[in-house]
Amino acid sequence: MVKDLVLDRNTGKNEEKKQVKWYKKITQFEEFGILIALIVICAIIAIANPIFLSFGNIMNVLMQISLVSIMAVGAAFVIITGGIDLSVGSSLTLGGVLAATFYSLGFNPWIALFLAVLMGSFVGAMNGLLIVKLNINPFITTMAMASVIKGLAYLITGGMPLSFNTEINFLGGGTFFSIPVPVIIMLIIILFGHVLLTKTIFGKYVFAVGGNEKSAKLSGVDVHLTKIKVYSLLGALGALAGVITACNLRIADTAAGNGREMDVIAAVVIGGASLSGGKGSIKGVLIGAAIMGVIRNGFVLLRLSSYLQLISIGAVIVIAVAIDQLRKKK
Amino acid sequence: MKRREIIRLREITKSFPGVKALDKVDLSVFEGEVHVLLGENGAGKSTMMNIICGNYQPDGGDIYWNGELTQFQTPRIAQEAGVGIVHQENSLLPHLDIKSNIFLGHYPKTVLFLNQRSIEKQSRELLRKLGLENMDANDYVERLSLADKQMVEIAKAISISPKLLLLDEPTAALTKTEIDILFNIIRKLKSEGVGIIYISHRLEEVFQIADRVTILRDGVRVLTKPVEEMNIDSVILNMVGRNLDKQKKELDSTQDQSYDKEVLLQVEKLSAKGRFHDINLKLHRGEVLGIAGLVGAGRSELLESIFGYTGYDDGEIFIKGKKERIKHPKDAIRNKMALIPEERKVKGLFLNASVKDNINLVTIGRNKKRLLLDDKKQRDTANQYVERLQIKTPSIDKRIQDLSGGNQQKAILARWLLSNPEILLLDEPTHGIDVGAKGEIYQIIRDLKKAGIGIILVSSEMPELILMSDRIAVMNNGELSGKLRKEEITEENIMMLAAGVSL
Ligand SMILES: Nc1ncnc2c1ncn2[C@@H]1O[C@H](COP(=O)(O)OP(=O)(O)OP(=O)(O)O)[C@@H](O)[C@H]1O
Ligand SMILES: [Mg+2]
């Protein structure tokens, strides 16, 4: 009966659904702006130095962005819930140190890797717990946690690098059909993150929490648990990146993760996520990390000063966010 | 005496992607005139207000201010010219106090520091002038009830001494007491020569304060007439484009006051410090239990506690006779409860998300195909409910922020109808909804009742409460001051109990 009543009402809503042209579809694609930016930057560098497009160099760039991308996938989840994590660099350090320590204690290196990642996710969960239970601002919480983790790493190592010479070193240094293994791991993590964010209930909850916490709670979303999970995911990915680093360098160093959190956050933000939450994508993360990687690589290829490189990365962050704002206005 | 025109809008046109919100609309306001703007949800009323206050720029058409062709490029320019506005959605800053909110954007000029003392004094004077003596200018806005926020919003609009005042559904969140205050303010402003554009879905108000009426339908102006030449039927006919008689009769004929004996929800001695105290309620299968009360009586707080959003300190909740500890809304949802909250922007919507995601959130788990979510199912569900509730949107992928207020409300209703609740808690469910859609929502409530669902209805609209409820519980100051059986329900009885007078 509801239907009958409703249907005799003509509000003109069902106007003909216009066939959206393909080029319109592309420009409506959220990451369109930064994708164009990436292509333009690549084109400029390629014209200036064709080596840029060689297989070896492309792999080199991908290898360089692999660690940041892996962590940025986790950071995207955190940022979409409206949070931030400044401790991921320290998680990286801790991950490597723990893996090396467990290995030196006689554990199988795979188990050592597993334990390190587990500890990473535990540390992340601690971040989340402090944030939701004590209601401390995530910026402060994770900044403090960064310091605690780093201290722990120093305590464990005494400040000396630990050697990590094992049969899993191929995870950092090996290749598979000429593709570096870390790049393959990165692609797997990106795919995993993309599916998790867009095709699961958890992903929908992540967006809901960042979009409006009160509405999310009233819709039955466990806001606290969702937050703890995202920080835990990031902690695990941070530790994984740490183990890969140790595999690559054959040592676990207490300085390995210093300052990495800034690259990670930059990749997410260039990728179109909003620090106020509710918005972001894993596709964007990949493009964001790629833009930074390509610029770094370009400066090396073109023999430009690395100081200029710092400046231009800063500029890219501002431009990316500005483009996003302009698009929103339109 | 010939009155001067404050503003004249000529052939205003405005399009958004996928909709023509306004199509060559004319509108004018004289000094001391209340011009009421009517239309269904999405007719273009708020868009018109946003154009007048400089928030949107029209695609075409002219604005004459005091007879001169003008453009209001920014809200600031419009404000300086003398346009005051109360937006449909709350726009106060919750973390600031009342006085700062009122003077934000037009602090009195001083050399160096803000003169807090003078701002406080002026705010207090303004509040007193508006009959809001009981408000403290130093209170933080986030602590205020929705109605009080609305009154602050009005005070803010008036604080710039406007020549033209735009009121976009100012009474949607108000009860009779505040509405009376507001109408007194309006009459006073009128006598001072201020022009007013007034938007409301409460049609009875139109005949109390309007001088002229303009009706919009789908972005087109249908008519402009002095209020004397209109009556409620002609207003509805022109708004909706058809007669609602059939619907009304049908609604009356289905008025069935019986309900089952089975108790779906029982609340015993429920207390929450500072919010409500010692509440006992029973909700039966197929019953509509109305809850009446003045603003601040604790009605919304009670619903939110029952639903697990804010806890309670003492007392017990039984669902179908079984004691349940409801600590979180997810516990409530598991027990087949649903709550449609009062402040949709704050507690209901995900403004940046699509209509589709807004509708599907609570029942998202149903769209699983093996491990992952199936997008097609979500789209089908959303489309089906957009159709069923006649939600006006170009597509389900549209951000819900871009929908008109009433259509946003319908989307939230869709979200919860989808969850097939047995116990439905409705907090001002027709807030911002047009007459036609209101009738549809009433019909839906009736149908749900017939299907054996228990409904608690909190509403400030007395006619709505009386029409829909089988019983009414009245709250006063956080306590239950009385319960009325159907035959006892009268406006006087409700008002007495609400004021704390026992019958
Ligand atoms: N910023 C926007 N972007 C896109 N579409 C918009 C925007 N604002 C309004 N619209 C559309 O314009 C139309 C008119 O909306 P408007 O808000 O003016 O309606 P209204 O008459 O105020 O309705 P209500 O009574 O529900 O508040 C609607 O179809 C709405 O979806
Ligand atoms: Mg409106």
| pLDDT confidence of residue B378 | 92
pLDDT per position as a tens digit, B446-469: 989 989 999 999 998 888 899 899
Q: Identify the band that residue A4 occupies on the pLDDT scale cut at 50, 70 and 90.
A: very low
Among chain A residues, CA nearest to B340: A218
Pairing between β-strand B322-324 and β-strand B314-319 as defined by DSSP bridges: antiparallel
Taking CA atoms, B92 is separated from A211, A233, A284, in Å, by: 19, 37, 34
| pLDDT confidence of residue A121 | 96
Kind plus residue range of the DSSP H or E element containing B316: strand B314-319
| pLDDT confidence of residue B462 | 85
What pTM was computed for the model? 0.84
Number of domains in chain A: 1
Amino acid at B73: Q
Least confident of A93-97, B99-103, B410-414: B99-103
Of the candidates A213, A238, A214, A215, the residue with the CA atom closest to the CA atom of residue A227? A213
Query: Alpha-carbon distance B467 to B425, whole Å?
Result: 17
Instruction: Assess whether pLDDT exceeds 50 at residue B174.
Output: yes
CA angle B167, B171, B174 (to 5 degrees): 145
A 210-249 residues with CB below 8 A of B? 211-212, 214-222
Residue tagged 């207003």 (tokens): B235
Q: Identify the band that residue A5 occupies on the pLDDT scale cut at 50, 70 and 90.
A: very low
| pLDDT confidence of residue A23 | 56
In sequence order, the β-bridge partners of residue B265 are B283, B319
Say if residues B337 and B264 touch (Cβ distance below 8 Å): no
Pairing between β-strand B471-476 and β-strand B288-293 as defined by DSSP bridges: parallel
Write the burial class of residue B429 (CB in 10 Å: 0-12 exposed, 13-18 middle, 19+ buried). Answer: buried
Query: Alpha-carbon distance B482 to B489, whole Å?
Result: 11
Rounded (10°) angle between helices B146-158 and B116-129:
110
What is the pLDDT averaged over residues A82-107?
A: 92
- For residue B409, the ligand 1 atom closest to its alpha carbon is 26
pLDDT per position as a tens digit, B326-378: 999 999 999 999 999 988 888 999 999 999 999 999 999 888 888 899 889 99
Tokens of B71: 């453009």
Among the ranges B53-62, B86-95, B239-248, which has the highest mean pLDDT value? B53-62
Residue tagged 């604790």 (tokens): B298
Instruction: Assess whether pLDDT exceeds 50 at residue A48.
Output: yes
B 363-392 residues with CB below 8 A of A? 364-365, 368, 371-373, 386-392
What is the pLDDT averaged over residues B77-87?
A: 92
CB of B409 within 6 A of ligand 1: the answer is: no
Asked if residue A13 is part of any domain, the answer here is no
Q: Which-ligand-closest: CA of B47?
A: 1
Say if residues A288 and A268 touch (Cβ distance below 8 Å): yes
Query: Alpha-carbon distance B75 to B89, whole Å?
Result: 16
What is the pLDDT averaged over residues B168-197?
A: 89
SS3 B155: helix
The closest CB to that of A6, out of B333, B352, B440, belongs to B440
Instruction: Assess whether pLDDT exceeds 70 at residue A207.
Output: yes
Quick check: A278 contacting B, CB < 8 Å? yes
CB of B290 within 6 A of ligand 1: the answer is: no
Asked if residue A98 is part of any domain, the answer here is yes
Of the candidates B403, B434, B432, the residue with the CA atom closest to the CA atom of residue B21? B403
The DSSP output letter for A12 is: S
Say if residues B491 and B466 touch (Cβ distance below 8 Å): yes
Asked if residue A11 is part of any domain, the answer here is no
The DSSP output letter for B395 is: -
Query: Alpha-carbon distance B70 to B64, whole Å?
Result: 6
Quick check: B393 contacting A, CB < 8 Å? yes
Of the candidates B95, B96, B78, the residue with the CA atom closest to the CA atom of residue B87? B78
Query: Alpha-carbon distance A76 to A281, whole Å?
Result: 7
| pLDDT confidence of residue A2 | 37
Instruction: Assess whether pLDDT exceeds 70 at residue B126.
Output: yes
Asked if residue A290 is part of any domain, the answer here is yes
Tokens of B72: 């209001």
Asked if residue A129 is part of any domain, the answer here is yes
Q: How many cross-chain Cβ pairs, A to B, lie less than 8 Å apart? A: 102
| pLDDT confidence of residue B252 | 59
What is the pLDDT averaged over residues B486-501?
A: 84
In sequence order, the β-bridge partners of residue B69 are B64
- The verdict on a CB contact (< 8 Å) between A201 and B373 is yes
Report the percentage of chain B scoring pLDDT > 70.
95
Alpha helices in chain A (DSSP H): 2-7, 22-28, 32-48, 55-80, 88-104, 109-133, 138-157, 170-173, 181-199, 201-211, 213-218, 223-249, 260-270, 282-301, 306-329
The DSSP output letter for B140 is: B
Query: Alpha-carbon distance A51 to A237, whole Å?
Result: 32
Pairing between β-strand B423-427 and β-strand B314-319 as defined by DSSP bridges: unpaired
Instruction: Assess whether pLDDT exceeds 80 at residue B324.
Output: yes
Amino acid at A268: V
Say if residues A242 and A74 touch (Cβ distance below 8 Å): no
**Contacts for B478 with CB less than 8 Å, ≥ 6 apart:** B274, B275, B276, B277, B297, B298, B301
Quick check: B444 contacting A, CB < 8 Å? yes
Q: Which-ligand-closest: CA of B37?
A: 1
Of the candidates B41, B43, B40, B7, the residue with the CA atom closest to the CA atom of residue B26? B7
In sequence order, the β-bridge partners of residue B425 are B339, B456
- What spatial distance separates the first Cα and last Cα of chain A, rounded to whole Å? 42
pLDDT per position as a tens digit, B390-413: 898 999 999 999 998 889 999 999
Residue B163 CA neighbour count, 13 Å, CB half: 15
pLDDT per position as a tens digit, B256-288: 667 778 889 999 999 988 889 899 999 999 999
Taking the CA of residue B503 and the nearest CA in chain A, the distance in Å comes to 36
pLDDT per position as a tens digit, B22-70: 999 999 999 999 999 999 888 999 999 999 999 999 999 999 999 999 9
Domain holding A304, by residue range, is: 37-329
Q: Identify the band that residue A329 occupies on the pLDDT scale cut at 50, 70 and 90.
A: low
- The verdict on a CB contact (< 8 Å) between B347 and A214 is yes
Q: Which strands form B337-340's sheet, in the order they lie side by side?
A: B337-340, B423-427, B454-458, B288-293, B471-476, B479-485
Quick check: A204 contacting B, CB < 8 Å? yes
The CATH number of residue A128's host domain is 1.10.3470
pLDDT per position as a tens digit, B244-253: 665 565 665 5
What is the pLDDT averaged over residues A142-152?
A: 92
Residue tagged 């939600």 (tokens): B391
Q: Identify the band that residue A83 occupies on the pLDDT scale cut at 50, 70 and 90.
A: very high
Rg (CA), chain A: 22
| pLDDT confidence of residue B116 | 75
Q: Identify the band that residue A168 occupies on the pLDDT scale cut at 50, 70 and 90.
A: confident
| pLDDT confidence of residue A327 | 64
Least confident of A174-188, A192-206, B105-119, B345-359: B105-119
Taking the CA of residue A235 and the nearest CA in chain B, the distance in Å comes to 24
Distance B12 CA to ligand 2 centre (A): 17
Instruction: Assess whether pLDDT exceeds 80 at residue A43.
Output: yes
Out of B14, B15, B19, give the residue to mutate to test ligand 1, the one with the largest number of ligand atoms within 8 Å of its CB: B19
Q: Identify the band that residue A66 occupies on the pLDDT scale cut at 50, 70 and 90.
A: very high
Quick check: A28 contacting B, CB < 8 Å? no
CB of B436 within 6 A of ligand 1: the answer is: no
**Contacts for A89 with CB less than 8 Å, ≥ 6 apart:** A146, A238, A257, A258, A259, A260, A261, A264
Distance B403 CA to ligand 1 centre (A): 5
Query: Alpha-carbon distance B405 to B413, whole Å?
Result: 13
Say if residues A128 and A136 touch (Cβ distance below 8 Å): no
Q: Write the residue with the smallest CA distance to atom 28 of ligand 1.
A: B42
pLDDT per position as a tens digit, B55-68: 999 999 999 999 99
- The verdict on a CB contact (< 8 Å) between B218 and A11 is yes
- For residue B88, the ligand 1 atom closest to its alpha carbon is 27
Q: Which strands form B212-217's sheet, in the order they lie side by side?
A: B83-86, B164-168, B195-199, B34-39, B212-217, B220-226
**B388 interaction partners in chain A (CB closer than 8 Å):** 2-3, 6
| pLDDT confidence of residue A1 | 35
How far, in whole angstroms, is CA A284 from its chain's centroid?
10
Distance B51 CA to ligand 1 centre (A): 12
Query: Alpha-carbon distance B177 to B295, whole Å?
Result: 9
Query: Alpha-carbon distance B74 to B112, whole Å?
Result: 26
Asked if residue A299 is part of any domain, the answer here is yes
Taking CA atoms, B376 is separated from A18, A126, B217, B367, B372, in Å, by: 19, 38, 33, 9, 12
CB of B162 within 6 A of ligand 1: the answer is: no
Report the percentage of chain B scoring pLDDT > 90.
48
| pLDDT confidence of residue A85 | 94
Asked if residue A219 is part of any domain, the answer here is yes
Q: Identify the band that residue A232 occupies on the pLDDT scale cut at 50, 70 and 90.
A: very high
Asked if residue A92 is part of any domain, the answer here is yes
Out of B201, B401, B402, give the residue to mutate to test ligand 1, the one with the largest number of ligand atoms within 8 Å of its CB: B402
The closest CB to that of B346, out of A12, A214, A221, belongs to A214
**Contacts for B18 with CB less than 8 Å, ≥ 6 apart:** B394, B395, B398
CB of B37 within 6 A of ligand 1: the answer is: no
Q: What is the ipTM of this complex?
A: 0.82
Say if residues B155 and B132 touch (Cβ distance below 8 Å): yes
